[in-house]
Amino acid sequence: MTRGRRAAAWVLVLSGTAACHGEQTILGSESAAPAAIESLWWVSLVGTGLLSLLVMAGLGWAVVRARRAAAMLPDAGSAPEPDRKREDAAILLFGAGLPAVFLLGFLAFSVRTGAEVALPPDDPVLTVEVVGHMFWWEVRYPDQGIVTANEIRIPTGGPVEVHVTSADVIHSFWVPQLSPGKIDMIPGRTNRIWMHAETPGRYRGQCTEFCGLQHALMSLLVIAEPPEDFQAWMDARQAVDARPANAEEERGLGVFMAYGCASCHVIEGVVGPGFQRPAGPELTDMGARLTLGALTLDNDPESLAGWIIDPHRHKPGVRMPSHRMPDEDLSALVTYLARLGRSARPGR
């Protein structure tokens, strides 16, 4: 078992998949709100750093002083009776006064930053609903009527409101470069956060509340595009025709149905939701996504085939079962899935 996993891990590393999609760092903000938090961090680092250096220097000097006192009077026994009042005053001054002044300033700065970043400065240009699942993200654009997974495409230039909840356990939504921190996704509740990308690019996010066996590989990609590119993507996405276009794709869909994929996955206009809420990601634009398994693998036909045969090899604990099937079936299925959402966007 362990040996198999280790082998799988090395396969991943050596095959060069799982390449980096975007950054995920607090110290590289790409938007005003996380940048404000980043300055809060630097200010607090310098402020508390100086204060604690002061205290440590005091401690060091006290040790040196006390050693000298002992060296000068080696046999004097106990130190002379201390001046209690003076000592208490010193302790209160440096122990209560100094930190109190610093804390008041820091608290004010923190409250101000909080008020600044908690809500978007302008009306949102887009609303996205994100639903956490073990261990992937359902992404819905309620006003546009489309659903996708693990990748959120947003326009640059304006705030995007994000409504989050969960279909199972508690997850947490976090795209550190674009959002003022993270927000928990709690079943039965809807929480809100916002994102804002000033420059186009790919930004990484990850689930930050332990959500079970495969919490580690539950990642998220935000793709920010200029508004016109975003609109073009949206138009194309809305126009996706997922119906099989040729015999090979027909066969692929047949395999899809035969292996019961439709009980968890939706393909718009082809197979409707089997349950009220899909147990697996919607596949209508499957071929146009950049990664598989919530950023675990790059989305190419080879990886897709490997994923279908044995997803656990790449992402142990994932809810999708393994599917052993003849090569021709697999190839037809991959052809069909890889085309989904892609034909509408030539050049990708």
Partner 1 sequence: MSEAGAMNDAALHERLSRIWAPPPGMLGFFTAVNHRVVGLRFMVTAFVFFLFAGLLAVAVRLQLTLPLLGVLSPEAYNQAFTMHGSVMMFLFAIPFLEGLAIYFVPLMIGAREMAFPRLNAFGYWIFLFAGLSLFVAWLTGYAPDAGWYNYPPLTSRGFSPGANIDFWVVLITFLEVSALVAAVEIIVTILKHRAPGLTLARLPVFVWAAFITALMIVFAMPAVVLASFMLGLDRIVGTHFFNFAAGGDPLLWQHLFWFFGHPDVYIMLLPGIGAVSMIIPAFARRPLAGYTLVVAGIIIIGLLSFGVWVHHMYTVGLSMVGLNFFAAASMLFAIPSAIHILSWITTLWFGRLEPLRTPMLFSLAFIVLFILGGITGIMIAAVPLNWQVHDTYFIVAHFHYTMVGGVVFPLFAAIYYWFPKVSGRFLDERLGVWHFWLFLVGFNVTFLLMHVTGLEGMPRRVYTYLPGLGWDGLNALSTAGALIMAAGTLVFLVNLFVSWREGRPVGDDAWGAATLEWSMSSPPPNYNFLNIPFTPSPSVAKDPASDARAPDWQRELAEARTGLRENPVTSIVEAKLEGKVELPMPSPWPFWTAMALSLAFLGVIWYPWLMPLGLGLAFVCIVGWHAPPRALDPEASPGNGGPGPDPASRGTAGRDALSASHAGLRSPILWGVIFLVLIELTVLVLFVASMLYLQLGADTWPPAGVGDTQTGLAATGQLLLLASAIPAWLGLRALSMNRTRRYLVGLATGLVLAAGYPALKFVEYGALDFRWDSHAYGSVQWAMSGYSLFHVLVLILAGGVFWVRGLRGHAHAGRVAGAQALMVYWAFAALGSLFFLGVQYPDLLPWR
Residues 236-275 that bind partner 1 (CB under 8 A): none
Say how many residues touch partner 1, by CB under 8 A.
107
CA pseudo-torsion sign 24, 165, 317, 331:
negative
Please give the distance of CA 213 from its chain centroid, rounded to a whole number: 17
Least distance from partner 1 to the Cβ atom of residue 295, Å? 7
Do 224 and 196 form a contact (C-beta atoms < 8 A)? no
Query: Which residues sit opposite 182 in a β-bridge?
Result: 174
Least distance from partner 1 to the Cβ atom of residue 66, Å? 4
201 binds partner 1 (CB under 8 A): no
98 binds partner 1 (CB under 8 A): yes
The CA-based dihedral angle spanning residues 286, 291, 294, 295, taken in that order and rounded to the nearest 10 degrees: 180
* Given 106, 144, 323, 325, the residue binding partner 1 (CB under 8 A): 106
Give the helix/strand (H/E) hosting 185: strand 182-185
Under 8 Å CB-to-CB from 120, ≥6 apart: which residues?
159, 161, 194, 196
101 binds partner 1 (CB under 8 A): no
Please give the distance of CA 207 from its chain centroid, rounded to a whole number: 5
Listed ranges 63-71, 138-146, 233-241, 299-307: which one lies at the site for partner 1 (CB under 8 A): 63-71
46 binds partner 1 (CB under 8 A): no
- Phi, psi of 221, deg, nearest 5: -125, 130
Listed ranges 62-70, 226-234, 272-280, 326-334: which one lies at the site for partner 1 (CB under 8 A): 62-70
Do 197 and 125 form a contact (C-beta atoms < 8 A)? no
Residues 298-327 that bind partner 1 (CB under 8 A): 316-317
Listed ranges 91-99, 138-146, 230-238, 253-261: which one lies at the site for partner 1 (CB under 8 A): 91-99
Q: Which is nearer to partner 1, 210 or 235 (CB)?
A: 210
Residues 278-297 that bind partner 1 (CB under 8 A): 295-296
Residues 144-183 that bind partner 1 (CB under 8 A): 168-170, 172, 174, 176, 180-183
* Given 15, 46, 52, 322, the residue binding partner 1 (CB under 8 A): 52
d(CA 77, CA 298): 73
Least distance from partner 1 to the Cβ atom of residue 297, Å? 10
Q: Which DSSP letter does residue 155 get?
A: E
